[in-house]
Structure 1
Amino acid sequence: MSTANVDLSALSRVAPETAPPPARVPLPHARWRTRVLLPGALLAATGGLLLYAAGATLWPAVPVHVVPVLSKSGVSGASAPVDGTSGARAVVQAPGWVEPDPYPLAVSALADGVVQEVLVLEGQAVEAGQVVVRLVPDDARLALARVEAESRQATAHLAAVQAALTAAQREWDHPVELTRKLATAEATLAEKQAELERWPAELASAQALTEELRAELDRVTPLRAAGQASDIEYIRARQQYESQRAATDAIRARRPVLEAQVANAQAEVVAARENLRLRIPETRALEEARAAVAAAEAAVAEKQAARDEAALRLERMEVRAPVAGVVMNRMVEPGSKLMLNATEMQSAIAMRLYDPRKLQVRVDVPLADAAQVGVDQPAEIIVDVLPERVFRGRVTRIVNEADVQKNTLQVKVAILDPSPELKPEMLARARFLPVTPPGGPEAGGSLHLFVPEGLLHRMGEGQAHVWLADPARNVATRRLVTIGAGRIDQWVEVTQGLMPGDRLIADAPPALRDGQGIRILGETPATGGAPHGTH
């Protein structure tokens, strides 16, 4: 089968000359952050972790030998040959923390309130009585004003009842009204008795007049019948007689009335006399006035106490430091609420103070060594922030309860010569020294530290530095020391910068750096003539 040659160009389509050129499609933006930067950061972090993990292999620790610091008791001044077994060693060494002695002092608010202003901060010194916190005083000021008004009202009421008591007392002392009533009753009785005594004479007079008028009537009656007297005269004589007879009968009837009036007057006299003697209303009024005064005085005292309480509460809106000290912890800030009667024990504490002149170290002594520590035992303390200085200490307390988790017993060591640079919660180490019996060979001696002279890198007059081995971190530490005057063979006394138990690097290479890792191979006697084992 044969195929014919076909011209494919005939099938192509020729674009017209007027057709526009094809549009250019923009290229996508390069995502260099996610495709370059992020993978690079991950690779760098991975490499850093690998370098850190392989640090011990890439930069191996420097192998070194160490020489312990030599501790001697009772050695001072110039050279003093002693034998290597007479040096004083610390019986126990343990870590601890600086804290106030015997405890921090809480500055508490003595009244509930909301903190308006905090005047001191952590680390500031305060004096006794200094205002450290101010509470919002508005409600306390209004309460004081209200109680003062109530106190004035109670005082005014007391004055009123005291005036009533004075009047009642004067009425009791001068019973004018009762005396007047008694005198009136006695006068009335005398008057009635006089009337009763006058009655017989009045009756006799009336009877005599009656008889006279009766005789006149008897005389006129026959004359009238004889025509010698007029009817008018007869009527006048008869009426006068009858009127007088009625008056006489009235006088005769007054006797019982007068006797009753006398009896009534006598009763009034007896009653007035008894009232003057008993004086029951006046006694009641006097006692009621006295009781009212006592109640008013009690009310005034109550209001005065309430006023003093309100004034005290207003005064307590300023929280004051009870003693001089340094602020250790600040517990509040503006807007905090201090409450006395809350269930939370710390709800009223504004801050805690400590006395920088009274510090102690809270030491955790292993239970295996606890039997070697006792009260009043001397100790030496070194704080990490002041490694060149050794502080003197004394055991003051041993806590009665051990820590079963840490297998330690807490011991309190008072710092006898604290420095203002010491702060609570600073890390420290304590070495408990043996107690020398009174009169013993080392009585009265102090502890001196010696180092091989060949390990001192002198820097000037009395100054040098040494290389210490830190067994906790396995690093070399460069430490400045002060050289003393003591000397034992080729061991030189160091007065500051070291503490018993420190170990010096005996074969430090020239290129050793501060903080460089080391590997302690063991102890070696340094060139200096001191036998090994005298440290």
Structure 2
Amino acid sequence: MISDNPDLSVLVRESARRPERRSPAGGTRVPLPPRRWKTRVLLPLLILGGLGALLAYAARDALIPAVDVEVVPVVVKTGVAGGGAVTVQAPGWLEPDPFPLAVSALASGVVREVLVLEGEAVEVGQVVARLVEEDAELALRRAEAELGQRRSALRISEATRDAAQRDWDHPIERVRQVAVAEALLVERQGELSQSAAELAAAQARLVELEAEYRRLEGLHETGQAAPIEFIRAEQQYEVHRALVDAARARQAVVAAHIRGAEAEVVASKKYLELRIPERRALDEAQAEVGRAEAAVAAALAARDEAALTLARMEVRSPVAGVVMTRLVEPGAKLMLGADTPRAAQVVRLYDPARQQVRVDVPLTEAAAVVLGQEAEVVVDVFPDRVFRGRVTRLVHEADIQKNTLQVKVAIEDPPVDLKPETLARVRFLGRLEADEQAQRLLVPAALVRQTEAGTCVWLADRAGGVAQLRSVVAGTARQGDWVEVREGLRAGDRLIAGDPSRLRAGMRVRIVGEQAVAERP
């Protein structure tokens, strides 16, 4: 029931708390409605914030790009043999596998400088030391001068050979001698004809004078001719008879000359055919060229040898590795081919990716170690890490002083932190048969990382789409390149493959596919 006399003072107090506004008509004050800031300000802000968060979540791929990754699923496998129990434990020392790599000088000399120190990485062909090169430079210049001299002698021999070859190809002198001999023969034959004609004329005159002499001789005997006429006729007859005898003798001489000319023609033609001196000169010149060419080849080889010796004054590494031992210092003498085995060695290298443990196994336990046996290696400088190994060699000679047998255990995938001559302990594992019912989780060994926190793998969280660095406990089972993980993973987990340096814990990732694995268990 409503009271007949309401209390209006409440309205007066309420109006006093409310802001008033004047009426545009009468100018009276009208109280304003109360301010609801929670519904008018706070609620819209909350709605806008929620919408912004929803939009940011929907556009997270554009705002925070995800890294594309490939994954490898964890494999569940039954019937995989695990590592056996420890059968033998023995101490050992790390060393290069299978042996250190020696970098030797290829020429004798005195060391000028050594350019590397222990622990430095060396690339193939890198200069590790330099030798004093002055002697090698002088030897090279001397060899080059000798080569120039031999080449000059070769050119002289070639010129002599070419001249002898031209004489052989163009026997001008021999042809001239044949022509001269033939001309002389013709001349002698002409002389013979002339002497024959002269002899015939002299004989005819002698017959005439003889007849005159015989006529006067008869007249002289009868006194019919004067003595002076008889004497003159007798003298003329004797003179012409002597001339006939001389003509006959000259004809014989000319005939002899003709035979000589004919022999000369035959000889000159034979000389032209054989050309023995020219043949000998050509052969000797060709032989001299061959000798000179051989001398040039020898000088060239000596020059190349001197150049090679000079180049070898820089000692270069034939392989890549890390310096394990420096064997010389500046001023040391390196002797190539000396009786001392290391007389020419400069440094000794090792490959960090190939290391083994030299283990001294007691003879009483050596029978339990066989080739190919798996082992676990613990290095003193990394006591919390266990490295897998395998027996690769059994030295076939025991140490009777220590009563041990030396065994070589190759470390599988050793980290670069391992150093030679570091003390280690090896646990040789027995062989176990595969359990037909046991299920094991296998992952690629290459995806298992060794960090300061221990053994970890990068995992792709498919629900959240982020990368996780998860700690795991590795088992002893192994199949090919896959290793067992005992704790930390479940079937269906996907490991991130590829370069781990680009990953960060909580980083958004997007799976683009599975990485191809060469061999699955």
TM-score, normalised relative to structure 2 = 0.63
Q: How does 1:105-120 map to 2 (within 5 A)?
A: 105-120=101-116
- For 1:194, the equivalent position in structure 2 comes to 190
Match of 1:390 among 386, 392, 395: 386
Match of 2:417 in 1: 421
> How big is the shift at 1:445?
7.6
Shift of 1:444: 6.5
The within-5 A match list for 1:495-534 is none
Q: Which whole-Å deviations, capped at 9, do the CAs of 1:437-471 have from their partners, x for residues lacking one?
A: 3566669689xxxxxxxxxxxxxx989xxxxxxxx
SS in 1 for 2:416: coil
Match of 1:342 in 2: 338
Shift of 1:246: 5.3
Structure 2 counterpart of 1:200, which letter? A
Structure 2 residue 373 is matched with structure 1 residue 370: no
- Measured in 2, the distance between the counterparts of 1:210 and 1:174 equals 55
Counterpart mapping for 1:231-310 below 5 A: 247-310=243-306
2:172 alignment counterpart: 176
In the alignment, the residues of structure 2 paired with residue 246 and residue 100 of structure 1 have an alpha-carbon distance, to the nearest angstrom, of 122
Aligned counterpart, 2:149: 153
- CA shift at 1:332, angstroms? 0.5
Work out the CA distance in 1 between the residues paired with 2:159 and 2:248. 57
Cα deviation, 1:310-337, whole Å, max 9, x if unaligned, reads: 1111111111101010111111111000
Equivalent in the alignment of 2:395: 399
Residues 145-197 of structure 1: CA distance to partner in whole angstroms, max 9, x if unpaired? 11111111111111111121122122222222112211211221122122213
Checking the alignment, whether the CA contact within 8 Å between 1:137 and 1:314 is kept in structure 2 is yes
User: How far, CA to CA, are the matches of 1:303 and 1:443 in structure 2?
Assistant: 75
CA separation in 2, counterparts of 1:317 and 1:323? 18
* Residues 443 and 260 (structure 1), Cα distance of their counterparts in 2 relative to 1, 3 Å cut: farther
Q: Of the candidates 312, 315, 320, which is equivalent to residue 316 of structure 1?
A: 312
Is 1:104–2:97 an aligned residue pair? no
Decide whether aligned partners of structure 1 residues 484 and 129 sit closer, same or farther in structure 2, where only a CA change above 3 A counts.
Answer: closer
**Offset of residue 89 of structure 1:** 2.6
For the structure 1 residues 148 and 439, does the alpha-carbon distance in structure 2 shift closer, same or farther, using more than 3 Å as the test?
farther
Q: Relative to 1, partners in 2 of residues 1:337 and 1:205: Cα closer, same or farther, differing over 3 Å?
A: same
Aligned counterparts, 1:470-489, within 5 A: none
Separation (CA, whole Å) in 2 of partners of 1:405 and 1:144: 54
Match of 1:127 in 2: 123
Partner of 2:405, secondary structure, is: strand
**Aligned residue number for residue 379 of structure 1:** 375
Three-state SS of the structure 2 residue aligned to 1:260 is helix
CA contact (8 A) 1:436 1:443 kept: no
Distance 1:412 1:445, change over 3 A: farther
Q: Is the 8 A contact 2:130 2:315 kept in 1?
A: yes
CA change 1:240–1:123 in 2 (3 A) is: farther
Contact 1:399 1:410 in 2 (8 A): yes
Distance 1:366 1:441, change over 3 A: farther
CA distance in 2, matches of 1:325, 1:196: 103
Q: CA deviation at 1:234?
A: 12
Give the superposition deviation at 1:366: 1.3
- State the secondary structure of the residue aligned to 2:324: strand
Deviation at 1:211, TM superposition (A): 6.5
Could you say if the C-alpha distance between residues 326 and 143 of structure 1 is closer, same or farther in structure 2, counting changes exceeding 3 Å? same
State which of 74, 84, 88 in structure 2 corresponds to 1:92: 88
- Partner residue of 1:359 out of 355, 358, 377: 355
The answer to whether the 8 A contact 2:83-2:430 is kept is no
| C-alpha spacing 1:462/1:118, structure 2 compared with 1 (3 Å) | closer
* Alpha carbons 1:462, 1:484 under 8 Å: kept: no
Q: Distance in 2 between matches of 1:439 and 1:218?
A: 161
The amino acid that maps onto 1:283 is R
Is residue 327–residue 346 contact of structure 2 (8 Å, CA) maintained in 1?
yes
TM-score between both structures, scaled by the size of structure 1: 0.62
Q: Does 2:129 match 1:136?
A: no
Q: Distance in 1 between matches of 2:372 and 2:438?
A: 17
Structure 1 residue 209 displacement after superposition: 5.1
2: CA distance between counterparts of 1:220 and 1:351? 134
**What is the identity, as a one-letter code, of the residue corresponding to 2:122?**
V
SS class of match (2:265): helix
Q: CA deviation at 1:217?
A: 10
How far apart are 1:430 and its partner, in Å?
Answer: 0.9
Q: Check the 8 A contact 1:365/1:411 in 2, yes or no.
A: yes
- Helix, strand or coil at the partner of 1:89: strand
Residue of structure 2 aligned with 1:411, choices 401, 407, 410? 407
Shift of 1:93: 1.1
Equivalent residues, number: 368
- The 1:324/1:193 distance shift into structure 2, 3 A limit, reads same
Aligned partner letter, 1:172: W
SS in 2 for 1:117: strand
CA distance in structure 1 between the partners assigned to 2:436 and 2:235 by the alignment: 153
Identity %: 59
Q: Which runs of 5+ in 1 are unaligned?
A: 1-76, 78-85, 223-228, 447-460, 464-481, 487-492, 496-535
